[in-house]
Amino acid sequence: MSHGHEDHSSHIKEYWWVFAALMFFTGLTVAVWGWFDFGRPGFSAGDCVVGLLIACVKASLVGLIFMHLREERGLIYKILVFTFYFFAALMFLCLFALSDPIRPVFGLNL
Amino acid sequence: MEIPYEVTPRRDTGLFNSKIGIWLFLASEVMLFGGLFSAYVFLRVGIHEGIDNPWPERVQEPLLGAVNTVVLIASSVFVVLAWVGLKMRQWRTFQIYMSLVIGCALTFLVIKTREYQTKMVEHHGINLKDGSVIECEILSDNAKDPIEKRRAGWPAGFAGLFGHANGDSTLKVRFLAESVTLSLDSASLLFMDYAEKGELWPAATVGDRKIDGKSQWEDWFFSAKRDILAKLSEARSLRRDYVQREVLGKSRKLDEVLLDKDLPAVNVETKVTIKFDKPLKFNVPGSSRTASHTESSLSFVDGTQLAGALAEGGDMIEVLVHGMDLQRLPISQQMSAKAWSLIVDEHQREAAKKVYKEEQDKVVAEIRKHYPEGKFPSVEEERHQLGSRRVNVLHIHLHDHADGEKHGESQEHAEPKKETGGEEKDPHAVSGGHSNNEFILARIPRSEVLYASNHGPWYNTYYAIYFTMTGLHGLHVLGGALVLGYMLVFGKKLYLKNPEHLANRVEVGGLFWHFVDLVWIFLFPIMYLM
């Protein structure tokens, strides 16, 4: 990535817009917690999905704009694709474990 | 030696070396935090009935988490603007924004520390045997009224991190000892560590000897111990000599020799009793690992035994109630939970129950909406189908203030209303005739307690994973702040020599900083809001 001085100064406004967007989404996350209540009382799957979706949008903004991923070289993407696969595998690990739980043994409440 | 491609990109990759390096490092960091996020999901989805079920939800103060989110996001913008400043060859701009980054990092860490301190020192959960939990702050024993007691616990501060806060906490058994009996061949004077501060090594009588002060105690103890050990040694050697003479000299069997009437016995009285001139107060952790107690004795694990009596209320844990957590009980049994009966003042108890009942009714009405036929689930169905969903709504805070914040998280609103007039108050006065917004005092007999602890990582699985993840993240914030701070303080020389090189370093440091921000973006909702 190489920019001239003018390029950089033109990016400054963009960075502040992204900051504003991140603030907005942070507020939205708290609002989901405080005002909306998807599903049954208290925490529910709906809250979880909405909360994590907003977090993903915020993470994308930070990654694409602040970390310059939208204009990055191919090699970085290759590294990240590898990372993504391993990360997904890590997440599946707990699903595998949960699909084969240790059953309570008689007399021993596991 | 000059390292290639520090400033100019390699032709094949189009990247300078440290940038590939940081991305590979960040990939490994994703795996590190990924493992912990995976563990979190596993722990939460796989909660075991009766142990961690229901999972504690929304127990954090979201305001502090939200403020920290804002602080980290702001620091992310500042770090990228600092980098832009370098790219535009504006040293001053870089300095300003990088200073703001460091300021944000420090702010984040201060807020985090305060959160940790609150959980360790000011928040306790007392789990009663009937399944109810009193969320509270355990009081100290040495002040005149509960509000002073509360303050008396604070100087312990971070000692709480290591489990030693409130040296005179009412969580400890308070015992007035009149005498101590110890076995000189095996015991030590370690029991004195548990005596009330300021009363160590008191005047006492042992046999016909008077001892007073540490040096006299130690002189007596070590000389008596020497005498006893010498007598023991002498008696044992007489016995050994006899056995050797009989077995080796007369070729008798050992079993036979040991039954001999003439075999010298080792009859040395090792136990000695010391009488305190006036009763000495001891504060001992109420766990069997240190000592066990009855109404009239306190026995340490090394055999040292104190005789006397429990101090007044010495077996009672005295607390300021923050809230009632009755989620483990079926709704129908919640209003008759043991926890209610432990609130000292009757008016406060009734007022608190009223508040709780109102909240409970709201939840019941809400739950009914989800059963269209109007059928309310049975206790078994309720447990099975509602699972942990009713947790936090019933986990109400009796101690809510006008500002709407939760209990204890912020010191200012937790500060009690000061009584005017400056008169000394009766220790129980706080419980009499005050409104529901005043502190609620409860006295809990130790025999009713299943376990009691501060909200440290040992309290339950939720706090274990919370401290692990936020602690690791906090260390990343600290590490990142140190690296970026180094560039701010010592970067000028490199800037004058090769500004592009410094810009690349800041970009790499900034990438790490953005990653730290990214992790927090996910930590905030899952730890504070869900």
**Which is nearest to B133 in space by CA: B351, B309, B327, B289?**
B327
Nearest Cα of chain B lies from the Cα of A43 at a distance, in angstroms, of 6
pLDDT at residue B401, rounded to an integer = 37
- Nearest CB neighbour to A51, from listed B69, B386, B530: B530
Chain A residue with CA closest to B33: the answer is: A87
Which residues on chain A are in Cβ contact (under 8 Å) with B71? none
Nearest Cα of chain A lies from the Cα of B124 at a distance, in angstroms, of 23
**Which is nearest to B485 in space by CA: B144, B18, B60, B99?**
B99
**What residues of chain A, 29 to 68, have a C-beta less than 8 Å from chain B?**
29-30, 32-34, 39-44, 47-48, 51-52, 54-55, 58-59, 62-63, 66-67
Q: Where are the beta strands (DSSP E) in B425-465?
A: 440-445, 449-454
Q: CB–CB of B391/B56 below 8 Å? A: yes
Chain B residue with CA closest to A48: the answer is: B530
Q: CB–CB of B390/B367 below 8 Å? A: yes
Helices A45-61/A5-34 angle, 10° precision: 170
Which residues on chain A are in Cβ contact (under 8 Å) with B34? 86-87, 90-91
d(CA B84, CA B503): 8
Residues pairing with B169 in the sheet = B140
Residues pairing with B300 in the sheet = B291
pLDDT at residue B395, rounded to an integer = 41
- Nearest CB neighbour to B46, from listed A9, A29, A98: A98
The answer to whether A42 contacts B392, with C-beta atoms less than 8 Å apart, is yes
pLDDT at residue B152, rounded to an integer = 45
> CA–CA distance from B219 to each of B178, B213, B270, B413 (Å)?
21, 10, 17, 52
A110 in contact with chain B, both atoms CB, cutoff 8 A:
yes
The domain at B17-123+459-529 falls in which architecture? Up-down Bundle (1.20)
Alpha-carbon B104 to chain mean position: 27
pLDDT at residue B50, rounded to an integer = 53
Chain B residue with CA closest to A56: the answer is: B522
Contacts 24+ apart (CB under 8 A), A67-72: A67/B511, A67/B514, A67/B515, A68/A1, A71/A1, A72/A1
Chain A residue with CA closest to B27: the answer is: A83
| H or E, element range at B503 | helix B499-524
Phi/psi at A100 (5° precision): -135, 65
Nearby residues of B221 by Cβ (< 8 Å), 6 or more positions away: B184, B189
Number of other residues whose CB lies within 10 A of the CB of residue B317: 26
Cis bond upstream, residue B279 (ω within 30):
no
| pLDDT (tens place) for every residue of chain B, 530 residues total | 677 888 888 888 888 888 999 999 999 999 999 999 999 988 887 766 555 566 777 778 888 999 999 999 999 999 999 999 999 999 999 999 999 999 999 999 999 999 998 888 788 889 999 888 888 888 877 554 555 545 444 444 444 444 444 446 788 888 999 999 999 888 888 888 888 877 788 999 998 899 998 999 999 999 999 999 999 999 999 999 999 999 998 888 999 899 988 898 888 889 999 999 999 988 888 766 788 888 899 998 888 999 999 988 888 888 888 888 887 777 778 888 899 999 988 888 888 888 888 877 777 776 666 666 656 555 545 544 443 333 333 344 444 433 333 433 333 333 333 333 333 333 333 333 334 446 788 899 988 998 888 889 988 888 999 999 999 999 999 999 999 999 999 999 999 999 999 999 999 999 999 999 999 999 998 998 87
Q: CB–CB of A21/A64 below 8 Å? A: no
**Which is nearest to B278 in space by CA: B191, B182, B178?**
B178
d(CA B94, CA B102): 12
Which residues on chain A are in Cβ contact (under 8 Å) with B33? none
Domain range summary for chain B, segments of one domain joined by +:
17-123+459-529, 126-166+318-414+426-454, 173-313
Which residues on chain A are in Cβ contact (under 8 Å) with B325? none
The answer to whether B522 contacts A52, with C-beta atoms less than 8 Å apart, is yes
Phi/psi at B127 (5° precision): -90, 115
Nearest Cα of chain B lies from the Cα of A110 at a distance, in angstroms, of 7
3-state secondary structure B165-179: CCCCECCCEEEEEEE
pLDDT at residue A1, rounded to an integer = 47
| Token code pair at residue B512 | 């790490």
3-state secondary structure B152-206: HHHHHHHHHHHCCCCCCECCCEEEEEEEEEEECCCCCCHHHHHECCCCCCCCEEE
Nearest Cα of chain A lies from the Cα of B82 at a distance, in angstroms, of 11
The answer to whether A91 contacts B517, with C-beta atoms less than 8 Å apart, is no
Chain B residue with CA closest to A9: the answer is: B84
Phi/psi at B136 (5° precision): -160, 180
Number of other residues whose CB lies within 10 A of the CB of residue B484: 25
The answer to whether B38 contacts A93, with C-beta atoms less than 8 Å apart, is yes
pLDDT at residue B161, rounded to an integer = 42
Q: CB–CB of A84/B28 below 8 Å? A: no
Chain A residue with CA closest to B46: the answer is: A98
- Nearest CB neighbour to B42, from listed A16, A30, A97: A97
Phi/psi at B428 (5° precision): -100, 0
Which residues in chain A land under pLDDT 70?
1-7, 34-44, 101-110
| H or E, element range at B515 | helix B499-524
- Nearest CB neighbour to B525, from listed A51, A86, A97: A51
pLDDT at residue B163, rounded to an integer = 41
Q: CB–CB of B231/B266 below 8 Å? A: no
Helices B499-524/B91-117 angle, 10° precision: 30
Chain B residue with CA closest to A104: the answer is: B48
Nearest Cα of chain A lies from the Cα of B269 at a distance, in angstroms, of 46
- Nearest CB neighbour to A30, from listed B34, B66, B87: B66
d(CA B167, CA B156): 8
Place of tokens 């991305």: B23
The SS3 assignment for B209 reads strand
d(CA B311, CA B295): 9
CA B16-B22-B26 angle, to 5 degrees, is 150
pLDDT at residue B142, rounded to an integer = 59
Which residues on chain B are in Cβ contact (under 8 Å) with A94? 38-39, 41-42, 45-46
